[in-house]
Amino acid sequence: MKKIHSQKQKEMKKTAKERIKHLFRQAEKAFNKNPSLSNRYVTLARKLSMKYKVPIPRELKRKFCKHCYKYLVPGKNCRIRTKDGKVVYYCLNCKKFMRFVLPRKKQP
């Protein structure tokens, strides 16, 4: 019985993850016409992530500001610099920085 339950939860998490990815795709599409709509998609994605306890995929985490949760588009509302193997995002909405470590390249 317990096994069935966890299986169901697994399915739900999988669905939530797909929905999160879909929301970010929608946010990307909407940005040019309606940036505030993109922000709403980010909010929805975050809510899903919290509700189902699924982490937002790493590649999508840098698509929104972790301080003000606005959808970020490089060159539009954020600036990107790379420094010492780190990527620094500067959010133009709230004027805060986010840092990401670049994945290290494997030595041949």
Question: Could you list the residues that contact Zn ion (CB under 5 A)?
Answer: 65, 67-68, 91, 93-94
Q: Which is nearer to Zn ion, 16 or 37 (CB)?
A: 37
Q: Which is nearer to Zn ion, 13 or 76 (CB)?
A: 76
CB of 70 to Zn ion, least distance (A): 5
Q: What share of the chain is helix, strand, coil (3-state, %, to 5)?
A: 45, 20, 35
Q: Which is nearer to Zn ion, 26 or 93 (CB)?
A: 93
CB of 66 to Zn ion, least distance (A): 8
Q: Using DSSP, state whether 80 is helix, strand or coil.
A: strand
Q: Are 62 and 89 in contact (CB under 8 A)?
A: yes
Cα separation, 75 vs 63, in Å, equals 13
CB of 103 to Zn ion, least distance (A): 24
